[in-house]
Structure 1
Amino acid sequence: MEFEIPDDWVSGVYLGKLTAKKVEGVYQGRLTANKDGLQSYVIFIVRDDRPCDLLFQCSDLTWQAYNSWPDDRWSLYHADKFSIAPWSGRKKWLTGPTGWVSFDRPYANFCQDHLVDRPASVGSGEFLLWEFPLSYWMEQQGYDVSYISNVDTHLDGPGLQRAKGFISVGHDEYWTREMYDHVSAARDAGVNLAFLSGNSVFGVVPLLPSAEGQPQRIHRRAGYFVGERFGRRPGSKIQMGPDGALLMGGRHAGIGGGD
């Protein structure tokens, strides 16, 4: 399905609602379930290039890292859906270098099963959970805001300098090295930075093309933004990025340690 964005749409985060129609029949020997009326979202960001007061960055690289579609083996965290951590009784999480995740799939429940009722993203990534409340409030208050994704920050460093302020919002854990460099350059050029987010600038990810050659479609956890000195591990293949604290003024302290 293709959808052309009208020229008069303003920059924002848009949710397209999909509704299933009743389909009954036999498929590969099994009776299909009646999905009539089930709904989910398709999320996309409309950006512009105008000067603005605030750039609102959505954390789509992190949405994809935690995306469990089609099941828990396909996030960056669960390589073995049957692996249980003895100290918590929950699934073990992979914390080192991982396989790849792709933007070429819908969003399912995100894999943080320790949160209350394992909240569904309803196809929105993590936007409805983390970014939406601030977005709603800012627009209600009349702020001049334009929206971008992590991928926009990765691709267009000079474009960040059209704003007076850059806001990292939500669960902004996974960054590319290019994102770090571009936001650092924007700061040095006079753009104010606000990190209204948690667990931010923590995982280093390369952003690569899909198997079909479409750019910026897959990524993996390659390392951490903890600084070369803090991240030395003899014989390790983990790629350590610059210290995230030099950008944010603080550093992620680990689960339970505060952000």
Structure 2
Amino acid sequence: MGTELNRRWESGTLAHGVSDPFGQGPLPWLRSPDQYVAGAGGTIPWYVSVDAPGQQPLATPPPKPPVGTPTTSEDVNQQIKGFASAGVVRPGGSVDFRVTVNPPREFTVDVYRIGHYNGDGAHHMTSSPLIAGVAQAAPLVVSRTVSCHHWWQSWRLQIPQAWRPGAYVAVLTTADNLHRSHIPFTVRDFAGSGHPCELLLVLPDVTWQAYNLFPEDGHRGASLYHAWDDGGRLLGEREAAVTVSFDRPHAGAGLPLHVGHAYDFIRWAERYGYDLSYATASDLHAGLVEPARHKALIFPGHDEYWSEPMRRTVERARDNGTSLVFLSANTMYWRVELTAGPSGEPNRLLNCRKRQRVPAGQPAAGVPGSQSALWRDAGEPEQHLLGVQYAGSVPTPVPLVARNTSHWLWEGTGLREGEQLPGLVAGEADCYFPRVALPENTERILLAHSPYRDVLGKPRHQETSLYRAPSGAYVFAAGTFAWSPALDRPGHTDERIQRATANLLDHVCKEG
């Protein structure tokens, strides 16, 4: 790719997708090499880090892709891009896909379900017939909010009753086999759909959209982090969007930033037979989740953006005896509002002003008088629920230092007090803030205390927390981005983290 297209790598979406080892993970339908970075001495798979701190350099030049391997559609020309329309998808129901193809040509859709599947990582469920692709109208942009709600429906997938709930991905491929893209969607199983599963996995679709810079074309795209100026330069948070839409594709390959965290947990949990239900953060917001049906709610990855209904539902769940498991860091940091989209579908716009000034009364304005949209600035620090809270980014992966290793969570891991687990504090980290009130508890323990230095060289530390609420519910917070990848990410797995996570889930399922 030329210099003009390389400008896209400056963004918070694709730059992290390439350089952050705890962003994306390998997926089975993308095992072949892919042309993604210019000047890298050949082609590399899209998920491989070549320059991330702590990553090993490639031993040999990566192979060239086989002849006929489709390349990933990009946001400049949008060879093929799409998204799933609004609606809760259940077995026996349907999901609509809206797809643009440039130039217009036929395409197919292959649908995969994420899971262990004897190490494959996903299972092919069905394929579409050839679909006539059209070049949809350009995305609509109003005050930096990008929406494709006006795109025509391209294909409706009927979900057979026999399909299991889970995380699914629709893989879009042009009929000439030149380009491909992806659409993630979730098949749910709410009340009345059979036995209540012990564990409910909540996929962080709200946070996924906050980071989505589609279209990442140096012109129109905007997220809650970035936007472009008239010269194609990437702007920061002060000029970013304060409202983003769910009605648009994800930038780049079509998969959200950090989606790999959720997929890592799913592959591991299904391998060992844990009883999982599936929902999304927007389901939690909409009141569609009944926590009392489950022993625990699992938050598998980076879950940074929470609305008030999300938080209140989870607080009530804890207070009524449902355990909470947070397998990442920087959870529940920004306070957001979800509002209806232009066509009237509820909860299709995500509003968060961050530190910008927004007129009172607008959905993104947040709590009156707050100097930012942080939960802690609204008088409700994350630690009130999690037991720890966000401390900062970790520029270079460092060891997680185990503490209180006689606790049942570390049972069978072989860890001794103060033993280090290499690279297990990475990305971002949480810790206990002594000046912030703790949640009411009957017991509390810190299971890791790990020193690191921030980007300015200042000493900091990460902590892993577990407490028990008066209701009997446990609340676990891993406090690091690297926990979920240690479960099933090639090159990052750690048997001690796998065992500790199994101890945790077994305990909450037995005592919940």
Task: Give the TM-score normalised by the residue count of structure 1.
Answer: 0.76
2:429 — aligned with what? Answer: 258
Deviations 1:125-164 (A, max 9, x none): 2364221111100000000011110011112266122110
Q: Distance in 1 between matches of 2:373 and 2:248?
A: 27
Q: Distance in 2 between matches of 1:103 and 1:130?
A: 20
Distance 1:179 1:39, change over 3 A: same
CA contact 1:45–1:147 (8 Å) conserved in 2: yes
Aligned with residue 316 of structure 2, among 174, 185, 193: 185
2:167 — aligned with what? Answer: 13
CA contact 2:168–2:186 (8 Å) conserved in 1: yes
1:108 — aligned with what? Answer: 251
Residues 1:43 and 2:181 are matched in the alignment = no
2:99 — aligned with what? Answer: none
CA contact 2:165–2:188 (8 Å) conserved in 1: yes
Matched residue SS, 1:179: helix
Residues 1:163 and 2:294 are matched in the alignment = yes
Rg (Cα) greater in structure: 2
The aligned amino acid for 1:10 is R
1:132-151 equivalent positions in 2, closer than 5 A: 132-151=263-282
Unaligned runs of 5+ in 1: 23-35, 85-90, 110-121, 225-231
Q: Distance in 1 between matches of 2:330 and 2:381?
A: 13
The aligned amino acid for 1:101 is V
The aligned amino acid for 1:69 is F
The aligned amino acid for 1:39 is R
1:76 — aligned with what? Answer: 224
Q: Which deviates more from structure 2 when the two are superposed, residues 208-217 or residues 41-50?
A: 41-50
Q: Distance in 1 between matches of 2:185 and 2:210?
A: 17
Distance 1:149 1:241, change over 3 A: farther
CA contact 2:226–2:239 (8 Å) conserved in 1: no
Distance 1:236 1:79, change over 3 A: same
Q: Which deviates more from structure 2 when the two are superposed, residues 127-136 or residues 215-224?
A: 215-224
Q: Distance in 1 between matches of 2:239 and 2:368?
A: 12
Greater percentage in strand? 2
1:206 — aligned with what? Answer: 337
Distance 1:208 1:187, change over 3 A: same
Deviation, 1:223, is 5.1
Distance 1:151 1:250, change over 3 A: same
Distance 1:102 1:206, change over 3 A: same
Matched residue SS, 2:226: coil
Distance 1:12 1:215, change over 3 A: same
Count of matched residue pairs: 222
Residues 1:99 and 2:253 are matched in the alignment = no
2:198 — aligned with what? Answer: 53
TM-align CA RMSD: 2.8
The aligned amino acid for 1:56 is L
Q: Distance in 2 between matches of 1:195 and 1:237?
A: 24
CA contact 1:97–1:238 (8 Å) conserved in 2: no
Matched residue SS, 1:151: helix
CA contact 2:242–2:353 (8 Å) conserved in 1: no
Q: Distance in 1 between matches of 2:187 and 2:208?
A: 17
1:240-255 equivalent positions in 2, closer than 5 A: 240=378, 242-255=380-393
The aligned amino acid for 1:246 is H
CA contact 2:242–2:354 (8 Å) conserved in 1: no
1:115 — aligned with what? Answer: none
By relative contact order (CA 8 Å, sep 6+), the higher-ranking structure is 1
2:254 — aligned with what? Answer: 123
The aligned amino acid for 2:164 is V
The aligned amino acid for 2:275 is D
Task: Give the TM-score normalised by the residue count of structure 2.
Answer: 0.40
Deviation, 1:102, is 0.7
Matched residue SS, 1:253: strand
Distance 1:127 1:236, change over 3 A: closer
Identical residues among aligned pairs (%): 35
The aligned amino acid for 2:214 is W
Distance 1:12 1:59, change over 3 A: same
